[in-house]
Amino acid sequence: MTSAAPTRASVGLRSDRGPILGSVMLSIALIAIDATILATAVPAIVTDLGGFTQFPWLFSAYLLTQAISTPIYGKLADVFGRKPLMLFGIATFVIGSVLCAVAWSMGALIAFRALQGLGAGAIQPAGMTIMGDIYSVAERAVAQGYVASVWAMSAVVGPTLGGLFSDHLSWRWIFWINLPLGLLAAAVLWAKFEEEPSPHERRPIDWWGALLVAAAAALLLLGLLEGGIRWPWWSWQSAVVLGGAALLTALFVRVEGRVDDPVLPGWLFRHRVLNAATIAAFVAGVVMLGVTSYVPVYAQQVLGAGATVAGFAVAALAIGWPIAASTSGRIYLRWGFRACLFLGATFGALGAVVLTLVGPDSSILLLAGACLVLGLGLGYVVSPSVVALQSAVEFRRRGVATGANMFSRSVGSAVGVAVFGAIANGVVADRLGGADRAGSVELEKLPDAVLDPALQAVFLAVAGCALLLVLAALMMPGRVEGPDGETAA
């Protein structure tokens, strides 16, 4: 199933494995576009369905169900196989999309978005695991560039399509478009991907562990997403939600120590390569939220740019990422994964420092340049980390390792929302003389003397987080040895 020549001719869409690669890319495109396409359609949805105070849950419900299900799906991919799980994820996502398209109220739309998230939670780890199965280490260097390009295009195409559908057709087409795309991806995968069932061991499923980790993750993410927004951080609601998450986590650890085949086995946290990849994914989730959430605000409210220009500024992050991902193979195949991660950490730190230098009189190009360099840094860290972890574990453990890595990025995103929101709100409250006055002022009416330092504080925090990429590089071995004794890089 693998080819020794790591060229685009042997790995690309026209190769023997091209249909499988195309199916994985299209499946990932479904969830990547859906993460951005809804933002520009929110006004039209609220006008049609009402529920203005509820619309943030359109995003939170999707993120919650995707995040809590990802590590479970990763484990199931090792038990039942990648193909069945991928087809299940596509089917669930498409059914959720159809239901979203016919939603009759904001509450129904939120519920169906949660169903979409359950499908997305299976697609991403299963898709990335399939890539690890069908390509060698050298070939993954090229294949990762294809997959990374999907996220780059989605960052630009998603908001544009959302606006076009809302303005000229209906916001419901945002979800209808997933039906033919999902069916095409499933049909190609069904016809072209012949997975060997023999390596998959049908072991007893740790349902109690799966339930506990899902419940603990749901409470943790709920507390991080809604703390400081729906309720104050220092409140009984935060104590109940986050305390419940801690209690369920402790119970989960106790249960996992007594089962033969845990859903999140202990070796995941004792493996040096996996720990480095987990840190890289977590930091990437944090940094991406800080950039994608606050750079457009800074561009529009402080620099006075239009919405389109602000969108292209942050899209530079998604341009730099696939450039780095597609060229990283040349680095880690020659000098090792640690050298590649150090290069990424350097780019990440440089981009974050440039971001802190942006001021009210800066050009939008400086803001976009900082995002581009940050994207290069993340591309040289995250994509090679996934290749490294898939190379370091055996076939029957690859799914759970990939799922755990995807989960850490989701948790990082939720932490980023909470931390950066708290920082920005704290500075605004301090400048306006109290949280009560800050909460009554709309974003558009905040003066630059208040908004600029608040966002600058967020950018400083992004820079601090970006430095953690150095820790990931230090933990990554110079050469990654596979389970069969073969040195990957």
For 82-114, how does the pLDDT look when each residue is reduced to its tens digit (9 = 90+)? 888 889 999 999 999 999 999 888 888 888 988
User: What average pLDDT does range 443-470 have in this prediction?
Assistant: 81
Residue 477 has phi, psi (to 5 degrees) of: -65, 155
Mean pLDDT computed over every residue of the chain: 78
Q: What is the pTM of this model?
A: 0.74
Q: How many CB atoms lie within 10 A of CB 3?
A: 17
Tell me how far the alpha carbon of residue 96 is from its chain's centroid. Answer: 20
Residue pair 70/124 in contact by the 8 Å Cβ criterion: yes
Confidence of residue 3 (pLDDT cuts 50, 70, 90): very low
Q: Which CATH class is domain 1-193?
A: mainly alpha
The predicted structure's pLDDT at residue 196: 63
**SS3 call for 170:** coil
Query: How many angstroms separate the CA atoms of 188 and 283, rounded?
Result: 34
Strand positions, DSSP E, 112-222: none
Which tokens hold the place of 199?
């390596």
Q: Compute φ and ψ for 5, nearest 5 degrees.
A: -85, 110
Q: Is 5 helix (H, G, I), strand (E, B) or coil?
A: coil
**Residue 213 above 80 pLDDT?**
no
| CB-neighbour burial class of residue 196 (10 A; exposed 0-12, middle 13-18, buried 19+) | exposed
Name the most confidently modeled range: 77-81, 221-225, 276-280. 276-280
pLDDT tens for residues 7-22? 445 666 667 777 888 8
pLDDT at 152: 64
pLDDT band at residue 1 under the 50/70/90 scheme: very low
Query: From residue 131, how far is each of 66, 94, 283, 402, 485 by CA, in Å?
Result: 20, 22, 23, 11, 21
How far, in Å, CA of 115 to CA of 384, rounded?
31
Q: Where are the domains of the chain?
A: 1-193, 207-246, 264-481
- Asked if pLDDT for residue 115 goes beyond 80, the answer is yes
Give the pLDDT confidence score for residue 5 in this predicted structure.
43
Name the pLDDT band for 2 (thresholds 50, 70, 90): very low
Name the band, by pLDDT with cuts 50, 70 and 90, for residue 446.
Answer: low
Task: For domain 264-481, give the CATH superfamily.
Answer: MFS general substrate transporter like domains (1.20.1250.20)
408 versus 266: which is more confidently predicted? 408
How far out from the chain centre does Cα 275 lie? 18
Quick one: pLDDT band at residue 440, thresholds 50, 70, 90? very low
244 has a pLDDT exceeding 70? yes
What's the CA gap between 254 and 412, in Å, rounded? 24
Give residue-wise pLDDT tens across range 329-373. Answer: 788 888 888 888 999 999 999 999 999 998 888 888 998 899 899
pLDDT tens track for 220-231: 777 776 776 677
- What's the pLDDT score for residue 197? 53
* Whole-number Å distance between alpha carbons of 39 and 70: 23
CA-based nearest residue to 38, from 206, 205, 165: 165
Least confident among 133-142, 190-199, 290-299, 432-441: 432-441
- Cα 130 to Cα 74, 143, 174, 364: the distances in Å are 11, 11, 28, 40
d(CA 68, CA 407): 7
pLDDT score for 141:
64
Residue where the block lists tokens 């009402």 = 50
CA distances from 197 to 63, 72, 225, 443, 460 (A): 31, 20, 40, 55, 50
The dihedrals phi and psi of 358, each to the nearest 5 degrees, come to -70, 135
Please say if the pLDDT value at position 6 is more than 70: no
Question: Cα 292 from chain centroid?
Answer: 12
